[in-house]
Amino acid sequence: MKRFCHLQLNAFNGLWLPAIFFLLVSFFLSTPAVAEEEPLTEQLVSAVQHDAFRLNAIFQAGLNYSFDDDNFHGGRSFEAANARLSIRGLLDGRFFYRVHVNMVREPNLLDLFIGYQHSDAFRLTAGAQKPRQSADFIPNPGETDFARRARITGQLVQSREIGVSADGNIGEIYYYAGLFNGSRLQNNTNNKFYGIGRLQYTLEAQVPGTLQLAVHGSHGESEGVRSGNAGPMLDGERTILGADLRWEADPFLLAAEYMTGDLETQMMPDVTETISGFYLTGGYWIRDNTILSGRYQSWGYEEADWRDNQLTVGVLHMFTTVTSLMLNFDAYLPDEGDHMYGASVYLQVMF
């Protein structure tokens, strides 16, 4: 009887997943497109956003639901995901500043930097900042293609660093170079620095739409610091290399990235662990305010000898220019072990 009920539940899950997806897509298609006039939004923006003082915010609330009673994506739980406030501005003498915090659990500093912009070709930034390394990690949470960033990003790339960086645009080429503590938002743990670089080229006249191609890399020595947001604890040097592309030609979107890192870790101190992975994203704007997206990703450890895969299907619908809803369905498909399935729904306000 217990097995019969379990089979019935699995069958129910398999039916209501596409049913909910179909109903939501139908609802999005039936709602009006983003209004051309939004007087309340214009009133808000004009009150809080000026050249010298600009207030931006991202508010996200949602639900994570694992189809089985397991801990996939945290199990089954409502979530206050983000309550981010950013104050930035331009000052006399070509200086600029930013203070950025997340207020979800407690005041959590994200960015605190001061900079100087000589021209479009050269800008210098000093302080706590997000390194512009991986294409997946550069956008803020309100502008990502999916509710969660790619798994390989979480294994290798740090969310924030303290240091100094230079970047700029020279024609179609964008460059970024930074030197950091390599220990997140902490003081330097070993008196050695961590370097990050990115080189990006944009094609517009040569292809339909816009195509961005980039390579990036980083190298340094860190001890007692976690690799990325979910990787192993580091015990020495790390070298990360990657390449990415993003093509947008209305109504299509295509994005891909590959990253690999050689890391000395506390988990395997006698060998250098290689962590590598990729993602491939495709999207189609079914309306001006609604996009359907899919992403396949794979990541794994060479020495530990395992690899995992995940498939995500999602829909993003913009009710207005500042309010939106994102729905993701995830299938976690490891080479070994149980498959897991879940869904995430996020309602967002961003201005």
Distances (CA, A) of 156 to 61, 218, 228: 27, 10, 4
Q: Give the pLDDT band of residue 71 (cuts 50, 70, 90).
A: confident
Span of 60-64, 65-69, 263-267 with lowest mean pLDDT: 65-69
Q: Give the pLDDT band of residue 5 (cuts 50, 70, 90).
A: very low
Q: Which residues of 124-148 are buried (b: 16+ CB within 10 A; e: fewer)?
A: ebebbbbbbbbbbbbebbbebbbbb
Q: Which three-class secondary structure string do you get for 195-236?
A: EEEEEEEEECCCCCCEEEEEEEEEEEEEEEEECCCCCCEEEE
Better-predicted residue by pLDDT, 74 or 182:
182
pLDDT tens readout for residues 198-244: 999 999 988 999 999 999 999 999 999 999 999 999 999 999 999 99
pLDDT surpasses 90 at 185: yes
pLDDT surpasses 80 at 108: yes
In the block, tokens 């961005």 appear at: 212
pLDDT at 37 (0 to 100): 87
pLDDT surpasses 70 at 351: yes
pTM, full prediction: 0.89
Query: For the residues 61-69, what does the mean pLDDT come to?
Result: 93
pLDDT at 30 (0 to 100): 66
Neighbours of 256 (CB within 10 A): 17
Query: For the residues 122-131, what does the mean pLDDT come to?
Result: 98
pLDDT at 70 (0 to 100): 87
pLDDT tens readout for residues 238-252: 999 999 999 999 999
Provide, rounded to the nearest whole percent, the portion of the chain with pLDDT above 90.
Answer: 84
Span of 18-22, 141-145, 172-176, 308-312 with lowest mean pLDDT: 18-22
Query: For the residues 297-317, what does the mean pLDDT come to?
Result: 97
Domain boundaries, the chain: 31-35+58-81+145-350
Instruction: Tell me the β-bridge partners of 344.
Output: 64, 328
Provide, rounded to the nearest whole percent, the portion of the chain with pLDDT above 70.
Answer: 90
Distances (CA, A) of 151 to 4, 45, 130, 316: 35, 35, 18, 20
Better-predicted residue by pLDDT, 82 or 31:
82
Better-predicted residue by pLDDT, 16 or 40:
40
Query: For the residues 84-99, what does the mean pLDDT come to?
Result: 98
Q: Give the pLDDT band of residue 73 (cuts 50, 70, 90).
A: confident
Q: What's the whole-number average pLDDT of the chain? A: 92
Query: For the residues 1-26, what does the mean pLDDT come to?
Result: 51
- What CATH architecture does domain 31-35+58-81+145-350 belong to? Beta Barrel (2.40)
CA distance 82 to 148: 13
pLDDT at 34 (0 to 100): 67
pLDDT at 119 (0 to 100): 97
Instruction: Tell me the β-bridge partners of 255.
Output: 246, 281
